Amino acid sequence: MRFYAETLGLSPNAFALLRDLIHERLGLFYDDGKQDLLADKLSPLVIERGFDSFLDYYYLLKYDENAADEWRRVIDALSVQETYFWREMDQVHALVEEITPAYFARRPAMPLRIWSAACATGEEPLTIAMALNEAGWLGRAPIEIYATDISPAAIAKAQAGIYRERSFRALPEHLRKRYFVPWRPLERSEFEPAQWQVAPWLRALIRWDVVNLVSDKDVQRMPTMHVIFCRNVFIYFSESSIRRTVRLFSQILVAPGYLFVGASESLLRLTADFELQEVGGAFVYVKR
């Protein structure tokens, strides 16, 4: 503890080094005003490693032969996993009611591939699957749903499919009853909050994976896509990271391919590969 008290602190120099390294590898950008936030998130990892400065940790992430394991911890610490079912549904409705029918009208036998690119703990792809099922598409058309996140811990939670009340704040009650069952851990205390498990068949429809959206290698191993949902991710990215990821999306999207981003995110200044269109009342970037 004396070591930590003496020197653990994010100096401007160490902050710049760590910030740039994290930006380069993960696309996440912490500006000068977010120095404390970065320090708060990384401090437990630095201390756990027995280091007494962020500079030590920078060298570990950059040069240690086992750095890949540590990067996974960093990703889990920095990733934002605040999401819920039935969120920003105008875009999902546009997918279900406009894009999907139009697609199968042209290619009834060809699979429609949908990718939830930053799915956190899985609420978004499960929402898409529920909405498609409610509209009757899952039983009668070949649809493939891919769901990825940079955080291995988030994907592990998604694969477990167990959710607390916060995830259900917008989901209609009848859908909760249809797709979820109450779940209890083996040793549940009286203070344990209520939890629900998603229907295994719905969870199994989705192909889960860990993907870093600024890694060419990671994105390029995904199959060709028709629709990508990448919502509320770019708000954490720098412009250069957004450009890089959008370029990768453009490479794996067919034309016309659809890219949904968050309501507060705009790609207008950042890419010429996409055109902003209104589809079924929702805004979507369409690959030219």
Binding footprint of another protein on the chain (CB under 8 A): 1-3, 12-13, 16-17, 50, 52, 56, 59-60, 62-64
Contacts of residue 190, defined as CB under 8 A and 6 or more positions apart, other chains included, come to none
Closer residue to another protein (CB): 9 or 280: 9
- Least distance in Å: CB of 1 to another protein? 4
- Least distance in Å: CB of 43 to another protein? 16
Other beta carbons within 10 angstroms of residue 52's beta carbon come to 18
Closer residue to another protein (CB): 2 or 140: 2
Closer residue to another protein (CB): 52 or 88: 52
Closer residue to another protein (CB): 12 or 182: 12
- Least distance in Å: CB of 3 to another protein? 6
Closer residue to another protein (CB): 12 or 33: 12
- Least distance in Å: CB of 41 to another protein? 22
Question: Where do runs of H (alpha helix) occur along the chain?
Answer: 2-7, 12-26, 35-48, 54-63, 67-78, 89-94, 100-106, 123-134, 137-140, 152-160, 173-179, 200-205, 216-220, 239-252
Taking alpha carbons only, the member of 220, 253, 248, 256 closest to residue 99 is: 256
What tokens were used for 133? 């099922």
- Least distance in Å: CB of 52 to another protein? 7
The CA distance from 237 to 110, in Å, is 34
CB neighbour class for 201 (10 Å; exposed up to 12, middle 13-18, buried from 19): exposed
- Least distance in Å: CB of 55 to another protein? 9
- Least distance in Å: CB of 270 to another protein? 21
The CA distance from 116 to 206, in Å, is 10
Contacts of residue 207, defined as CB under 8 A and 6 or more positions apart, other chains included, come to 144, 145, 146, 147
The CA distance from 8 to 47, in Å, is 9
Closer residue to another protein (CB): 64 or 275: 64
Closer residue to another protein (CB): 35 or 79: 35
